[in-house]
Amino acid sequence: MGQTNKLAAILMTTVFSFNQLTYAQKVETTEDGSIVTYEKDYFDKFSAVTLLDMILIIPGGKEIIDKNQNQFRGNGANSQGDRGFGSGGDQILIDGKRLAGKSNNIDDTLSRISATQIEKIELIRGAASGLDVQSQGLVINITMAEGGDTATTFWQVSGKYTFNNDFKPEFLVSRSGKLRGLDYSVSVARENGGFFYLREEQAFDADDVKTSDQDVDAGFEWKNLKFNSNVSYSFENGGDLRLNGLFEPGGREGYEIRTKTTNVINPVTRLTDEDSDKWEFGGDYSRSLGELGNLKALFVINRDKGDEIVNLTKGSGGGLFEFANEHTIENKSEKIFRASLTKGIGSKQFLELGGEVAINTFDKSFLNNERRNVLDVDITAVVTDPFIIANSDDVKIKENRYEIFANHTYNASTALVIQSSLTAEFSKIVADNIFAGGSLSRRDTSFTYLKPRINLRYDLSDQDQLRATIEKKVSQLDFGNFVTRFDQFAEVLRLGNTEIRPEQIWDYSVAFEHRLPNDAGSLEAEVFYRDYKDHITRVDFTEYEDFGGNPIDADTFFSLPPTTALRDDIDFTSKSGNIDSASSYGVNLKTSNRLGFIGLPEAVFSMTYVYEKRRATDQFTGLKRNFDRVSDHTFNFNYRHDITALGLAYGFSGEIRSTATSQDISYIWPEKPIAEIELFAEYNVYEGIKMSIELENLRGVRNTSVFNRYSDHTRFNQLSGKTTRRTNNWMEVTVSLQGTF
């Protein structure tokens, strides 16, 4: 290399290193490297308006937000969702405490808190004492600024335009402040959401001859008002009280219009109209009890009601008639109370003892009415034909759950922290099936579970950390599986099953993380294995009989072999249910890097790749297969570039997933998702005022799939036909303006 090239390389390296160092000057790291602190002035040059803006600026921040949202929705490894508050998992905390809410969740709160109210943000890696949670991954802890009586108002107006559809305006106004020691936040928002799609279908018979074409034009829109409030107060005796509330009335409308070449009457339309009403009240209290330790108590009470009517019609104009309808009423509530006492044992150990009580109720009814002669061409005859009940299901459920737990933290050294816990759970589920005429069938079941957990964090150096976790989890049941419903996408009736048991999971994981110096990002690799017991999936509930009408099992039935007449007499039935075992294993690789090494110190690029091989025995074919509707490979990416000199930020994000398959008693449905890509740009118009634009569904295609139908049962392996589907989503543009004063 010539002297000129060497000098250029030295200068470039110096400039890039200096650019990285300017970020590190506003970032502090603890001696063991487990806590990275971003002080308030770190965010000054970015002109952040809200707390959410601040977190998204931090390398890896968006991935933490996305993961927290997935856990809230129940999209994690525990597919049925966690029970109650619990104590594990990645969390976002405010002043070391989590928000005591379920529907009123932390993600909504982040966008309502002004950046001016934040003192600092801490990223805590691995196990740490003194927090409201135990985590084997990351915890974000936000420290609110202290001061005199102050107040700020955050506002946002936005609108989403969906191509070939309509424009939906939204607004949010939030007032936050401090008044004589009382911290408060109140907000009101008008939310309009929805999605639209156009599906192109081609149907083929068993000989692969095309029999029809069908276009499906569909969409769902929901509107609601959301009122939120949060207050907190510190008492002179050292106690801290926080209360939060949510009230959210709203509704949803949907349509699905099917036009098929073989229909005698077109189109076939499905119209949905739903009213909903949701409220929640929660809070927490903490204080020191001297020699007894520190008391922490949380509670939440909520209720969610929904009333949905679906009308199915054929034809249009003067030839329109209704041939079926559905009515679903749902009313669910939750009451949770958790209290614990934490005491230090010497200078290195902490012990937390406590208990949790949760009372859940779930009432849901489903009624499906149909006319007898729905295929009649004579519309007059059909309209005069009376409706009859085709399906009816009414379930009332109550679950009482009690937990006692002990959590122990041992700070063996500045480099080694070991957390262990043991939870004993006792639950009772009473589910009543109320049949037409008033007759009742009751399921009364009790469960007892021991849930141990051990979590280790070892800092190999200031930059390198090793984490390991062994934990037993028990899922929260989805009571929606207890009640019959119509699956609009698979076009099948899902029968309810009140005998489903919670899913048990042994979760083993080891992770290694390396943090790059000067806030340049991080690299992480995790390997995991999960062992499932009472795995919830689709199960064969058919009552098999031999030629003499005697009950037999499935293997005996299929080995007869059954004749066509015998098959016609059998009602092949599937429901959600439990199977003895299943397993999954895989790796989780992720990186988040500031791009100073290529001259873009204000740009961050993050990637996450997850390979998870989930396998269970298919209850219809007896073969090993993947879990229902999940992909083995998932790749997420996110790029954000802040040009602070111009007050501008832009970027993109996306997700790529491999093929996922859904299987049931009479179909196999592989689906190939198309890569999702979103673009965004933000511009600080004035100090404290920001304008942003987001583009979604850029590809236009959501997925492609092949719906394979089988005669009676997939085990016969007799394909009766298939339908190819291509689902197109319309591009969406969202423009918003937000600010504080």
Cα separation, 182 vs 148, in Å, equals 10
Tell me the domain boundaries of the chain: 3-145+173-740
494 half-sphere exposure, CB direction, 13 A CA radius = 19
Show Cβ contacts of residue 96 under 8 Å, excluding neighbours closer than 6 positions. 130, 131, 132, 141
**Other beta carbons within 10 Å of 628:** 19
Pairing type for strands 138-144 and 91-94 reads parallel
Cα separation, 224 vs 172, in Å, equals 12
CA distances from 95 to 141, 143, 144, 147, 566 (A): 6, 5, 7, 15, 67
Peptide bond into 670 cis (omega under 30): no
CA-wise closest residue to 608 among 63, 59, 13: 63
**Other beta carbons within 10 Å of 643:** 13
Task: Return the SS3 of 146.
Answer: coil
What pTM, to 2 d.p., does this model score? 0.85
Cα separation, 338 vs 83, in Å, equals 12
- DSSP letter string, 216-277: EEEEEEEEEEEEEEEEEEE-TTS-EEEEEEEEEEEEEEEEEEEEETT-SS--EEEEEEEEEE
pLDDT of res. 24: 47
Cβ–Cβ under 8 Å, residues 439 and 432: no
CATH superfamily of 3-145+173-740: TonB-dependent receptor, beta-barrel domain (2.40.170.20)
The kind and range of the H/E element at 21 are helix 3-24
pLDDT of res. 11: 37
Low-confidence ranges of the chain (pLDDT < 70): 1-33, 67-90, 100-108, 126-137, 147-149, 373-384, 436-437
Cβ–Cβ under 8 Å, residues 593 and 605: yes
Q: What do you get for the CA distance between the two ends of the chain, in Å? A: 56
**DSSP 8-state class, residue 148:** S
Cα separation, 407 vs 129, in Å, equals 10
Which pair of tokens denotes residue 624?
A: 């090993």
CA distances from 234 to 181, 241, 287 (A): 7, 6, 10
- DSSP letter string, 367-401: EEEEETTTT-S-HHHHHHSPEEEEEEEEEEEEEEE
- DSSP letter string, 506-569: EEEEEEEEEEETTTTEEEEEEEEEEEEEEEEEEEE----B-TTS-B--HHHHHTSPPPHHHHHH
- pLDDT digit string, tens, across residues 422-480: 999 999 999 988 876 677 788 899 999 999 999 998 999 888 999 999 999 999 888 88
CA-wise closest residue to 55 among 652, 544, 640: 640
Burial class of residue 701 (count of CB atoms within 10 Å of its CB; 0-12, 13-18, 19+): middle
pLDDT of res. 5: 47
- pLDDT digit string, tens, across residues 393-420: 899 999 999 999 999 999 988 889 999 9
Which pair of tokens denotes residue 270?
A: 């499905």
pLDDT of res. 608: 94
Backbone angles phi, psi at 555, to 5 degrees: -60, -40
pLDDT of res. 469: 93
Pairing type for strands 349-371 and 321-345 reads antiparallel
